[in-house]
Amino acid sequence: MEEKKSGKRLAKPDGEAKKGRRGLLAAGILVAVLVAGYLGLCTWVGASGTTLPGTTAGGVELGGLTRDQVERRLDEELKQSYTGKEITLQVDGTSQSYTVSGSVLDVDTSAVTDAACGLSQGNFFSRGWRLIQSLLGGNDIEVPLSYTQEGESQVDALLTQIESELGGGVQETTWEVQGDQLVFHMGTPGRAFDLSNTKADILEAFAGESQEPLVLSTVTTDPADVDVEAVHDQVYAEVQNAALDKETFEITPSVTGLDFQVADAQAALKDADWGSDVSVALTVTEPTVSTESLKELLFRDVLGEASSSVSGSSNRKSNVKLSASVCDGIILLPGEVFSYNNTTGSRTADKGYLPAPSYVGGKSTDEVGGGICQTSSTIYYAALNSNLKIVERHNHMFAVGYVPDGMDATVWYGASDFRFENDTDYPIKIVTEYKNSRLTVQIYGTKTDDLYVKMTNKELSSTAWSTEYKVDPSLPAGTTKTEQTPYRGRVVEAYRNVYDGNGNLVSSTLESKSTYKMRNQIILVSPYDAAQYGLTEADGAIITTPSPSPTTTTPAETTPATAAPSATPVLPAEPQPSATPSAAPSETPAPSAAPSETPAASETTPDIGIPLTTAPQNTEEAQA
């Protein structure tokens, strides 16, 4: 056998190797040429300043134009191509057609210009490719269309007209209250189309090339079911009487009560025909006080009144006038309570109150606010004559004189108040008037009956006063000075007597029992005359009287002694009351008349109207 030997690779000829290298080189050169050419094309496109060839918008040729040329051509050709166009509308199922003119359109040529010129700009490396695409297939720019303001109104009106000719849109069921009936007006079905979608379809039709009519699809819609529960919530009203708003002094209108049975209404509506009326019975409750009646009745009548003469110092009169003005116009709604202290507040100087005589420990002294108890007493007397409910009242320590015994009301801020309640069915108003040193209080309201009040009082017991003499070293011989005026003490019952319109006594009720203290008269005498009044050296009397020097006295402060005093008081003594009071109470003046200001002839004129306005020393003295 022959021995096999390994083969040897034969070397290629030099010519073939050279051919391969030349091919690669040629391909590289070609790629380089193509790349260079594409880059040059991209550069040219960006630098040309014109639109790409084959560019159109709405059928208008825009290729190869500068930006200014594009804008002019769009204004001259594009707008005209749309505004001169018409779209035909036809409702499905009908032969009736309608025309929409292109004049309703707003063509956004600015956006088209930006889009057309923007094709040659943008990313550098994509410019060449966009040119190639434009050369091969062209570039059609979408034209943005919208409605002008006037054009949209025209389209809305046309669509509304079409709906109306079709029978109109759906008519929903409505309801109303007619007297004692709740009437439902049943709705009717309607043929309609979606306005927003339809207007968009019209714009799309203008943008397209089709000449076919735009068919509008309608939908028949039934009225919505009536939510009877919701209707009940709106109809239902709770009866409410007219009332006076205390803050605004306006009348809050009355409300008529309304209600109906929901189940009855649902049953009546279940099979009702479209377009028919369905009535459901209402339960109507009229208010007992209507707006009109309250306007007529409000503050119509004077329920009661009282007046009192205001005496004393100018400061005291000023305090009475000021406190009365604070109470003037106060309105109380039914059930509300008037508080004198809450109404006037603390009687202080910063509110305008002045120092005037007041009782402190049974003595009179000037205190800020002296005299304000005359206002509370006059209001109290008016409230009694108005037949109103008294909640709180305190009598004075001493009888006042400006109102009948038992008709006064003392106050002390923080301790004693005067309060009464409006227990009528209507608002009441306090009206005060201060004129010519006379205070008048009237309480206005609405009378619902013919009853009226006459207040009377009955004196149960009496305590007479006596005269005390004291030495005043400052007084010259032969002179005297009154230090304290006297008051007769008594216990008095006040009665509220109610009469009907014919003058018949309906009731007589004990209103209050007042105890007024006695206060003695105190006369100051000169020590040189003291022995004549039964005073001793222990009392400051000078028994051995030297010849006094001539003395000048002030007439307003001292009184010459014309004769030696008798053992009895200088002022006339007061008769003692009968041990047994009369069975029938004595009658005070009628409510409209002013109380008598003149005391009995046998009684010293009291120190009228001096109230306590400072803290009392003990509980017995807490009476102003």
Task: Name the one residue in this structure whose structure tokens are 């709740």.
Answer: 182
Q: Is the pLDDT of residue 590 over 70?
A: no
Percent of the chain with pLDDT over 90: 47
Q: How far is CA 592 from CA 401, 455, 608, in A?
A: 18, 11, 21
Question: Could you tell me if 374 and 610 are in contact, meaning their C-beta atoms sit under 8 angstroms apart?
Answer: no
Which residues 6+ apart lie within 8 Å of 141 measured at CB?
A: 55, 56, 57, 62, 112, 115, 116
Cα gap 30→8, rounded to integer Å: 38
Q: Which residue has the higher pLDDT, 91 or 149?
A: 149
pTM of the model: 0.54
pLDDT value of residue 511: 97
**Closest residue by Cα to residue 528 from 518, 542, 514:** 542
- Report which residue type is found at 178: Q
**Closest residue by Cα to residue 446 from 404, 396, 386:** 386
pLDDT value of residue 441: 98
For residue 365, give the DSSP letter.
E
Question: What are the backbone angles phi and psi of residue 577, rounded to the nearest 5°?
Answer: -70, 155
384 burial (CB, 10 Å; 0-12 / 13-18 / 19+) is buried
Digit-coded pLDDT (tens) for 3-23: 555 555 555 566 666 666 776
Question: Could you tell me if 531 and 564 are in contact, meaning their C-beta atoms sit under 8 angstroms apart?
Answer: no
Percent of the chain with pLDDT over 70: 75
Q: Which residue has the higher pLDDT, 315 or 71?
A: 315
pLDDT value of residue 555: 38
Cα gap 146→106, rounded to integer Å: 5
**Closest residue by Cα to residue 414 from 613, 278, 143:** 613
Q: Which of 72-86, 242-256, 572-586 has the lowest mean pLDDT?
A: 572-586
Instruction: Give 107's pLDDT tier (boundaries 50, 70, 90).
Output: confident
Q: Which residue has the higher pLDDT, 23 or 188?
A: 188
Question: What are the backbone angles phi and psi of residue 237, rounded to the nearest 5°?
Answer: -145, 135
Question: Could you tell me if 477 and 552 are in contact, meaning their C-beta atoms sit under 8 angstroms apart?
Answer: no
Q: Is the pLDDT of residue 567 over 50?
A: no
pLDDT value of residue 118: 63
**Closest residue by Cα to residue 162 from 187, 204, 199:** 199
Q: Which of 170-179, 265-274, 364-373, 608-617 has the lowest mean pLDDT?
A: 608-617
Q: Which residue has the higher pLDDT, 120 or 457?
A: 457
Question: Could you tell me if 468 and 521 are in contact, meaning their C-beta atoms sit under 8 angstroms apart?
Answer: yes
Query: Token pair for residue 298?
Result: 């409000």
Cα gap 27→505, rounded to integer Å: 139
Cα gap 44→130, rounded to integer Å: 12
Q: Is the pLDDT of residue 75 over 70?
A: yes
pLDDT value of residue 39: 55
pLDDT value of residue 42: 59
Q: Is the pLDDT of residue 359 over 80?
A: no
pLDDT value of residue 338: 98
Mean pLDDT score of the chain: 80
Cα gap 61→437, rounded to integer Å: 106
Q: Is the pLDDT of residue 47 over 70?
A: no
Of 35-39, 550-554, 560-564, 568-572, give the range with the top mean pLDDT.
Answer: 35-39
Q: Which helix (H) or strand (E) holds 266?
A: helix 262-270
Cα gap 104→146, rounded to integer Å: 8
pLDDT value of residue 72: 83
Q: Is the pLDDT of residue 191 over 50?
A: yes
Instruction: Give 579's pLDDT tier (boundaries 50, 70, 90).
Output: very low
Residues in the chain, overall count:
624
Q: Which residue has the higher pLDDT, 174 or 612?
A: 174
Digit-coded pLDDT (tens) for 360-400: 777 778 889 999 999 999 999 999 999 999 999 999 999 99
Beta bridge partners of 487: 519
Report angle CA 112, 116, 121 to the nearest 5 degrees. 135
Question: Could you tell me if 611 and 377 are in contact, meaning their C-beta atoms sit under 8 angstroms apart?
Answer: no
Q: Which of 217-226, 319-328, 344-353 has the lowest mean pLDDT?
A: 217-226
Q: Is the pLDDT of residue 573 over 70?
A: no
Tell me the pairing of strands 467-471 and 521-525: parallel
Q: Which residue has the higher pLDDT, 623 or 168?
A: 168
Digit-coded pLDDT (tens) for 447-506: 999 999 999 999 999 999 999 999 999 999 999 999 999 999 999 999 999 999 999 999
